[in-house]
A and B are shown apart, each in its own frame.
Chain A
Amino acid sequence: MSNPLTLADVERVAALAHLELTDAEKHTFLEQLNEILGYAQQIQKVDTTGVAPTAHVASRHSADRTDELRPSLPVIEALAAAPEPALQAGLFKVPRVLGGIE
């Protein structure tokens, strides 16, 4: 069985997942994921014609509630665990978004 995954796949998927990888990681993961996906190919043998997919086994019930204002986490507590909180402004600070590296 040919390997389902290429190095380009690993790079493309890692980028989709916002995951920078070192070259060493790319090669290790490529080998390991091909082994895992190769093993997983066996489910292709199962006849699933007309079988509905199961995404969830929860019994369905309504979780609606009345649309009322309720207390929530205070801003100061929400910011407490942030690596770079802007406490005065009540915001999370992040590096530059537009226009290249500062």
Chain B
Amino acid sequence: MTAAVPNSAHEIRDAISKGDASAVEVCRWYLDRIQQINATLGAFRAVAAERALEQAATIDRTRPQLPLAGVPIAIKDNMCTRGLPTTASSRILEGYVAPYDATVIARLQRAGAIVIGKTNCDEFAMGSSTENSAFGPSRNPWDVDRIPGGSSGGSAVAVAARLAPVALGSDTGGSIRQPAAMCGILGLKPTYGRVSRYGLLAFASSLDQIGPMSRSVHDAALLLNVIAGPDPADSTAAPEPVPDFTHALTGDVRGLRIGVPSAILDEGVDAGVRRAFAVSLDVVRARGATLIDIDLPHARYAIPTYYLVATAEASSNLARYDGVRYGFRATGGLPDAAAALGGPGGAPSGPMDLRSMYNRTRNQGFGAEVKRRIILGTYVLSAGYYDAYYLKAQQVRTLIRGDYETSFERVDVVATPTSPTPAFKLGERLEDPLQMYLNDVFTVSANLAGLPAISVPCGFAAPSERGPQLPIGLQLTGRMFDEATLLRVADAYQRDTDWWRREPVVANPNPESRVPSYFSKAFTRSPQDTNT
């Protein structure tokens, strides 16, 4: 059956449109595969099996000539999907079923795509490993003892392990590109404003952007064609015209100028990553591109700037989760030992007033990383600290953006590794938030500056002498609304390399328990949410 189902979205679309393949068969193939190995990888949080098969049957009946006709797609669980759970991997939204579709979902469905399920992520997209999911981590298909990256880890795993041909992720500081790099697939964060955020659960509104995750550049271009464009429901979705991005895939990069900020590429960057990055630049150069050394003098301040701006915005955006209109509501006191002993900080359970309901709902509903960021963000916005932290960070943001504007006078794209290291082990950085944040050193700048950036698989490296070979990503950052150039360079690179065709072998250690526990619960609400 493997041979019968094409590997890419555009091949699936072509085969179904011509009648060479059945959408139901394709859908069933992916659903079977999800049943076999999702329990090992934890990529999906909910699978819409019945609905997907119904939609596939309709496609087979009508055989519409649509850009994504019959293509199954995995959706990060922070995008609203009408009738399906949308939790952002948070306890506070456990059991929540969105009453409307995000604009990207509506556009995908109009284009014939079939939402096959919702993927695991760091809670509210806050994290770089998916370990912050309230429902357990996803695992890297190249080594299941390692993280897949994050926060769109489930989407990256789904594409890498062929549980879906393509996926959507969201990217606030690298959350599409970093897991794409660590799982050996392609991920594109479009320009801020290129894709509507309507129906995306907001983390940091000036940084968030939805984008495609795929194997081939062609598929990413195809998805971007469908989801891009202005939207009356999101005033930040830009009116810029949307070109046919597949037309950019010419293979021609002659005369293209690639900026390399060599001064920031040494410190803290794994030797294997440096090697793969250097070799990948040689490949593009061999096709006629020129490498130019550039300086991004404020790049070293990108991480602190990002974590001050993003947490400030998050503290405001997450104020809406209060146990009133949706999701979880606490009915008792704190669950920990202090509460049990009635000690300081603990609270007795029993009836409570509105304020204590808010406070306890948020304590019990949010995980540690989300609480940490809410506190940090509230602090940097509070009286007396606003100027020193938030305003200062916004000014440095201007300088970071200016560095890129200056560079783009001399070069067409900027190249760096996507992540300074290959995937690390589960648990390795969980207790050290700052160490986790430093992993985002090369990705956050594109969000702060609003620029489009892509990660394309560029090789493998072993993190230690006897460690497994793990995927590495090449990141290219472009001018505002110039995704076309990024796709053109990435495509040229993919023509000369086969990293993107490599597939991990995922063993299924327990074939008896093939059905993930939530598989049949996808459409039901959890008991604690139905106490009416």
* A69 sits at the interface (CB 8 A): no
User: With the chains together, A14 CA to B375 CA distance in Å?
Assistant: 6
- Which residues of chain A are within 8 angstroms of B44 by Cβ–Cβ distance? none
Q: Which residue of A lies closest to B366 (CB)?
A: A19
Q: Which of B323-331, B466-474, B482-490 is the contact stretch?
A: B323-331
User: With the chains together, A55 CA to B353 CA distance in Å?
Assistant: 37
Could you tell me if B398 and A52 are in contact, using CB atoms closer than 8 angstroms?
yes
A residues 34-61 with Cβ under 8 Å of B? Answer: 35-37, 39-44, 46, 48, 51-59, 61
User: With the chains together, A33 CA to B355 CA distance in Å?
Assistant: 25
Could you tell me if B97 and A53 are in contact, using CB atoms closer than 8 angstroms?
no
- Which residues of chain B are within 8 angstroms of A67 by Cβ–Cβ distance? none
Could you tell me if A101 and B352 are in contact, using CB atoms closer than 8 angstroms?
yes
Known: A32-B433, A44-B392. A100 touches B239 (CB 8 A): no
Known: A81-B326, A82-B325. A46 touches B399 (CB 8 A): yes
Could you tell me if B378 and A40 are in contact, using CB atoms closer than 8 angstroms?
no
Could you tell me if A23 and B399 are in contact, using CB atoms closer than 8 angstroms?
no
Known: A22-B336, A40-B308, A96-B353. A57 touches B206 (CB 8 A): yes
Known: A43-B301, A54-B397. A18 touches B362 (CB 8 A): yes
Q: Which residue of B lies closest to A50 (CB)?
A: B395
Could you tell me if A40 and B336 are in contact, using CB atoms closer than 8 angstroms?
no
Partner of B324, one of A54, A63, A80, A92: A92
* A24 sits at the interface (CB 8 A): yes
- Which residues of chain B are within 8 angstroms of A44 by Cβ–Cβ distance? 388, 392
- Which residues of chain B are within 8 angstroms of A94 by Cβ–Cβ distance? 324, 354, 357
Could you tell me if B351 and A33 are in contact, using CB atoms closer than 8 angstroms?
no
Could you tell me if B434 and A43 are in contact, using CB atoms closer than 8 angstroms?
no
Could you tell me if B338 and A46 are in contact, using CB atoms closer than 8 angstroms?
no
Q: Smallest Cβ distance from A69 to chain B, in angstroms? A: 15
Q: Which residue of B lies closest to A42 (CB)?
A: B304
Q: Which residue of B lies closest to A10 (CB)?
A: B375
Number of chain B residues whose Cβ lies closer than 8 Å to a Cβ of chain A: 83
Could you tell me if A51 and B301 are in contact, using CB atoms closer than 8 angstroms?
no
Could you tell me if A18 and B371 are in contact, using CB atoms closer than 8 angstroms?
no
Partner of B398, one of A5, A53, A97: A53
Known: A18-B358, A95-B354. A63 touches B235 (CB 8 A): yes
User: With the chains together, A61 CA to B206 CA distance in Å?
Assistant: 16
Known: A84-B532, A101-B351, A101-B353. A19 touches B371 (CB 8 A): yes
- Which residues of chain B are within 8 angstroms of A92 by Cβ–Cβ distance? 324-325
* B462 sits at the interface (CB 8 A): no
Could you tell me if B374 and A81 are in contact, using CB atoms closer than 8 angstroms?
no
Could you tell me if A84 and B401 are in contact, using CB atoms closer than 8 angstroms?
no
- Which residues of chain B are within 8 angstroms of A58 by Cβ–Cβ distance? 192-193, 206, 236, 238, 450
Could you tell me if B529 and A95 are in contact, using CB atoms closer than 8 angstroms?
no
Q: Which residue of B lies closest to A25 (CB)?
A: B371
Q: Which residue of A lies closest to B303 (CB)?
A: A39
Q: Which of B340-348, B407-415, B491-499 is the contact stretch?
A: B340-348
A residues 61-89 with Cβ under 8 Å of B? Answer: 61, 63, 65, 73, 77-78, 80-85, 87
User: With the chains together, A73 CA to B199 CA distance in Å?
Assistant: 14
Could you tell me if A39 and B357 are in contact, using CB atoms closer than 8 angstroms?
no
Could you tell me if B351 and A102 are in contact, using CB atoms closer than 8 angstroms?
yes
Q: Smallest Cβ distance from A36 to chain B, in angstroms? A: 5
Could you tell me if A59 and B433 are in contact, using CB atoms closer than 8 angstroms?
no
Q: Which residue of B lies closest to A47 (CB)?
A: B399
Could you tell me if A17 and B235 are in contact, using CB atoms closer than 8 angstroms?
no
- Which residues of chain B are within 8 angstroms of A21 by Cβ–Cβ distance? 345, 363, 371
* B232 sits at the interface (CB 8 A): yes
Could you tell me if B325 and A81 are in contact, using CB atoms closer than 8 angstroms?
yes
Could you tell me if B327 and A83 are in contact, using CB atoms closer than 8 angstroms?
yes
Could you mark each residue 516-532 of chain B with 1 if its beta carbon is under 8 Å from any beta carbon of chain A, else 0? 00000000000001011
Could you mark each residue 299-334 of chain B with 1 if its beta carbon is under 8 Å from any beta carbon of chain A, else 0? 001011101100000010001001111111100001
Known: A17-B315, A46-B396, A55-B206. A9 touches B351 (CB 8 A): no
- Which residues of chain B are within 8 angstroms of A48 by Cβ–Cβ distance? 392, 395-396, 399
Known: A57-B192, A61-B238. A23 touches B396 (CB 8 A): no
Q: Which residue of B lies closest to A80 (CB)?
A: B99
Could you tell me if B99 and A17 are in contact, using CB atoms closer than 8 angstroms?
no
- Which residues of chain A are within 8 angstroms of B382 by Cβ–Cβ distance? 13, 16
B residues 383-412 with Cβ under 8 Å of A? Answer: 388-389, 391-399, 401
User: With the chains together, A14 CA to B343 CA distance in Å?
Assistant: 19
Q: Which residue of B lies closest to A86 (CB)?
A: B532
Given contacts A58-B236, A81-B327, 4 further A-B contacts (CB under 8 A): A13-B378, A23-B343, A46-B399, A81-B97
Interface residues of B (CB under 8 A from A): 96-97, 99-100, 192-193, 206, 232, 235-236, 238-240, 298, 301, 303-305, 307-308, 315, 319, 322-329, 334, 336-339, 343-347, 351-360, 362-363, 366, 368, 371-372, 374-376, 378-379, 382, 388-389, 391-399, 401, 433-434, 437, 448-450, 529, 531-532
Subset of 18 A-B contacts with CB under 8 Å: A17-B362, A17-B374, A18-B358, A19-B375, A21-B363, A23-B343, A23-B346, A29-B371, A33-B376, A43-B396, A54-B448, A58-B192, A58-B238, A61-B235, A63-B232, A81-B529, A82-B326, A95-B353
